[in-house]
């Protein structure tokens, strides 16, 4: 099956610093990648959709300037949390899909746990 | 608007009991996909099943079975003879074919199977 990796798996940083999370599709070309955020004991909430080579589409209420998404290649998307604060502490999960068709299956990464002190 | 409701926040059963996790969805799309995922304590989502809106056949996979009923907009998941390893959070999700592949997740049901 298709494999999606995330790096790092966990990160602890000081308030005010920026953190970059990588999402890679290891054995397929991911035309579309999705970024989700999950707070403890809560569901996954879609943050943004990124298509290779174009700007990400952010969900309502997600700050574009705070959560920078870059999908520069067909196998890599990055999420940068800029000037992180304790309220940004969360579990960030990416998923990747081959093609843009809505019926194409998404494959999830293992997630990145961010703790901001 | 699309919405997925999992009314059961937590369920606790004793090993070997059968348990059903409920999922009710709302969508205006005529073509859509329904999913169930398992999220163990490690956090990684485990894909369990995908069902398209045109296929109402029930599915059985080992101890797992799914009941899809369009008439009631429900896609329930049953675990037969539950085991401790089934303890996890289970998410039901919906993706409308016209929604660009976005997955809308339910709130999740935390299942605890006690020995």
Averaged pLDDT for residues B76-98:
95
Interface test with A, best of B1, B48, B102 (most A CBs within 10 A): B102
The answer to whether B96 contacts A102, with C-beta atoms less than 8 Å apart, is yes
Distance CA A117, CA A106 (A): 32
Supply the pLDDT for residue A92.
Answer: 98
Q: Residue range B93-115: average pLDDT?
A: 91
Tokens 């298509």, located at residue:
A51
Cβ contacts of A102 on chain B, cutoff 8 Å = 33, 95-101
Q: Is B113's pLDDT higher than 80?
A: yes
> Stretch B76-84: mean pLDDT, rounded?
97
B45·A49 Cβ contact <8 A: no
- Residue A90: per-residue pLDDT: 97
pLDDT band at residue A1, thresholds of 50, 70 and 90?
low
Radius of gyration of chain B from its Cα atoms, rounded to whole angstroms: 14
Q: What is the pLDDT of residue A53?
A: 81
A95 C-beta neighbours (distance < 10 Å), count = 25
Backbone angles phi, psi at B65, to 5 degrees: -145, 155
Residues of A in contact with B96 (CB under 8 A): 102
Before A67, cis peptide (omega within 30)? no
Q: Say which residues have a Cβ less than 8 Å from residue A26's Cβ, sequence separation at least 6.
A: A2, A3, A4, A5, A75
Report yes or no: A46 at the B interface, CB cutoff 8 Å. Answer: yes
- The arithmetic mean of pLDDT across residues A12-29, rounded, is 95
Mutate to test the interface with B, among A11, A59, A92, A103 (most CBs of B within 10 A): A103
pLDDT band for position B26 (cuts 50, 70, 90):
very high
Task: Read off the pLDDT of residues A60-100 as tens digits, 9 standing for 90 and up.
Answer: 999 999 999 998 888 999 999 999 999 999 999 999 988 66
H/E/C letters for each residue in A43-93?
A: CEEEEEEEECCCCCEECCCCCCCCEEEEEEECCEEEEEECCCCHHHCEEEE
Q: Give the pLDDT confidence of B43-75 residue by residue, as tens digits.
A: 999 999 999 999 888 889 999 999 999 999 999
């Amino acid at each position: 099956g298709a494999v999606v990796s995330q790096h790092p798996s966990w990160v602890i940083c000081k308030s005010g610093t920026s953190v970059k999370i990588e999402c890679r599709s290891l054995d397929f070309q991911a035309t579309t990648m999705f970024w989700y955020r999950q707070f403890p004991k809560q569901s996954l909430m879609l943050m943004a959709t990124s298509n290779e080579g174009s700007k990400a589409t952010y969900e309502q209420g997600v700050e574009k300037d705070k959560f920078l998404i870059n999908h520069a290649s067909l196998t890599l998307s990055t999420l940068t949390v800029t000037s992180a604060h304790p309220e940004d502490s969360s579990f960030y999960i990416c998923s990747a899909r081959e093609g843009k068709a809505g019926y194409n299956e998404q494959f999830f990464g293992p997630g990145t746990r961010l703790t901001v002190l | 608007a699309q919405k997925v409701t999992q009314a059961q926040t937590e369920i606790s059963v004793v090993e070997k009991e059968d348990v059903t996790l409920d999922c009710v969805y709302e969508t205006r799309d005529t073509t859509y996909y329904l999913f169930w995922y398992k999220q163990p304590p490690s956090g990684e989502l485990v894909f369990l099943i995908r069902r398209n809106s045109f296929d109402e056949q029930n599915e059985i996979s080992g101890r797992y079975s799914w009941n899809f009923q369009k008439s009631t907009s429900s896609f329930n998941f049953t675990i037969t003879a539950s085991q401790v390893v089934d303890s996890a959070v289970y998410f039901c999700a919906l993706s409308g074919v016209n929604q660009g592949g976005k997955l809308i997740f339910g709130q999740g049901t935390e299942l605890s199977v006690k020995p």
